[in-house]
Amino acid sequence: MIEGSFLKNSWIFIVGFALQGEPMLILWLLYFYGSPFHWTLIFGIALLMSYFTGVVYYSLGRWAPQMSWLDRWLKNHQDKFSARIPHRMPGLFLIVMKFLYGLRNPLAIYLGYIRFPLGLFLFWTFWGTLLWLSLYFAGVYLMGLYFQKVIMTYRYALWYIYAGLFIGWGLFQLRKILKKRKQAKTGEGA
């Protein structure tokens, strides 16, 4: 068990999640893997931060006409986005948007820029964030279970690693021998 208070040990992960996103969330979850209480608190903090980050980016898109550099960028790249998609299936679009790593923030800015209804954005972004984090936490939890079992059976895992390295080395040597034979045959026939 980790000594000290949860927030005292978590501040670096919270700052990292705000700046970096998913990679820090994985480290944060694996750091507090042993305590289920911390998972619910991490889930709550991550849900709030991810949701409000989306709202901030949406608001940035709303303020884009006052920011000339952002307005120019959006006008230059507007042809790459279709304004019809968010309005045809807003719920599906906003839920899928949460799973698009690297695009969720620019898409939130774009939705603010095209004046997508704020109520729809807030509602579907919340459900998309909830689904995304639930699946993410389940994946990290299962990954932690896997690593825990690997560490507990380290002796056996180490033998598998050695066997894999030995087989890989053997295949590499076999490839070299076959390559030399092929070169020798082509050299004889010429």
| Interval 71-80 mean pLDDT | 66
C-alpha 136: how far from its chain's center? 8
Give the per-residue pLDDT at 100.
Answer: 76
Give the per-residue pLDDT at 188.
Answer: 63
pLDDT-derived band at 157, boundaries 50, 70, 90: low
Question: How many CB atoms neighbour CB 56 within 10 A?
Answer: 13
Give the per-residue pLDDT at 87.
Answer: 65
- Cα–Cα separations (whole angstroms), residue 75 to 15, 61, 109: 32, 12, 12
What is the percentage of the chain residues whose pLDDT exceeds 70? Answer: 62
- Average model confidence (pLDDT) across the chain: 76
Contact call for residues 51 and 126 (beta carbons, < 8 A): yes
The structure's pTM equals 0.59
| pLDDT, tens digit (0-9, with 9 covering 90-100), for 29-68 | 666 666 666 777 777 877 888 888 888 888 888 887 777 7
Give the per-residue pLDDT at 85.
Answer: 66
Give the per-residue pLDDT at 8.
Answer: 62
Domain ranges for the chain: 6-152, 153-190
d(CA 182, CA 177): 9
Nearest to 46 by CA among 8, 13, 1: 13
Q: Is pLDDT at 69 greater than 50 in this prediction? A: yes
Give the per-residue pLDDT at 114.
Answer: 79
Give the per-residue pLDDT at 1.
Answer: 45
Q: Is pLDDT at 13 greater than 90 in this prediction? A: no
Tell me whether residue 17 is exposed, middle or buried, using C-beta atoms within 10 angstroms of its C-beta: 0 to 12, 13 to 18, 19 or more.
buried
- Cα–Cα separations (whole angstroms), residue 16 to 25, 43, 49, 135, 166: 8, 15, 12, 20, 39
